[in-house]
Amino acid sequence: MQENSYATITKTEAEKDGSASTELARVHTYVTLYVKDVSVTRFEPGYHLTVTGLLPHEQCSSVFNIVLNRTNDSKIVLKSKERLIFHVGFRRFACSPIYSQHSNGNKHKFERFFRPRQTLVATCFGPITYSPTSVLAFKQYPDGHQELVATDSLLSVNPDRIILKRIVLSGHPFKIHKRSAVIRYMFFNPEDVNWFKPIELRTRWGRRGHIKESLGTHGHMNTEPHKSLWTSFLKPL
């Protein structure tokens, strides 16, 4: 894949001093551009040369969120952090996005896979672009072939979007009493036991309970259910 080359054009000292010509080109008129200090050999025949202007802050990079809809012809399952090639407006770049549900509210559940006929939000790091901007997502195979896998538009440029991942912690009974048990291997220090004390526990057979107290300095705890148990919570990414 041929990577795009971007050049930052700055004002010359003469322009900064005000000595340069202030004549402007009228809208819908043809102009001739001369690119200074660029060899002709860098231009490849058969490729179009695109000239664009940048809005304020578009020369910077940030975390942006893209709403993606899977195309009807694409049947493959995409994994989170799998490398894709994005065409966002006039820009093209490669990144490895993570996916989350496109839902209301300010917290969004992390999705490990992007399946066919699904709509998700892809979050990755790239050049700032203002919405609404059309987006095309391609998957590149080892032989260089690219397949269009998703399309839609830019949702926002927001590094504060909260993406939550569901985590399951499991423990094993160390000592079993009549109505309680000592559980180990879920935590390994008393600070974590006290932090998760309000969270409800459950066993494989559906019994529920809570942490009663922390025991010792190695993360053991006294709980109400006396079977193997686990708990789940949402971890921000």
Q: Sketch the domain layout of the chain as residue ranges.
A: 13-160, 166-236
Residue 92 burial (CB < 10 Å; 0-12/13-18/19+)? middle
Placement of tokens 């952090």 in the chain? 81
pLDDT tens digits along 128-182: 998 889 999 999 999 989 999 999 999 999 999 999 988 888 888 888 887 788 8
Mean pLDDT rounded to a whole number for the chain: 82
Per residue in 49-60, pLDDT (tens digit) is 778 878 888 889
Tell me the HSE value of 26 on the side-chain side, using a 13 A CA sphere: 2
With 0.95 as the threshold, say if the pTM is over it: no
Residue entry with tokens 């397949």: 147
Amino acid at 77: V
The CATH number of domain 13-160 is 2.40.30.10: yes
**CATH class given for the domain over 166-236:** mainly beta
From 23-27, 33-37, 63-67, 69-73, the region with the lowest mean pLDDT: 23-27
Phi, psi torsion values for 164, nearest 5 degrees: -110, 135
Considering the chain, what percentage of its residues have pLDDT values greater than 70? 85
**Phi, psi of 94, rounded to the nearest 5 degrees:** -110, 140
Residue with tokens 């195309």: 71
Q: What is the pLDDT of residue 3?
A: 45
What's the confidence (pLDDT) of residue 65?
93
Q: How far lies 153's CA from each of 25, 34, 67, 93, in Å?
A: 32, 34, 6, 15
- The model's pLDDT over 71-88, given as tens digits with 9 standing for 90+, comes to 998 899 999 999 999 999
Residue scoring higher pLDDT (230 or 36): 36
Predicted pLDDT of residue 18: 54
Q: What is the pLDDT of residue 237?
A: 59
Q: Which of 180, 161, 40 is nearest to 108 (CA)?
A: 161
The answer, yes or no, to whether residue 4 has pLDDT greater than 50, is no
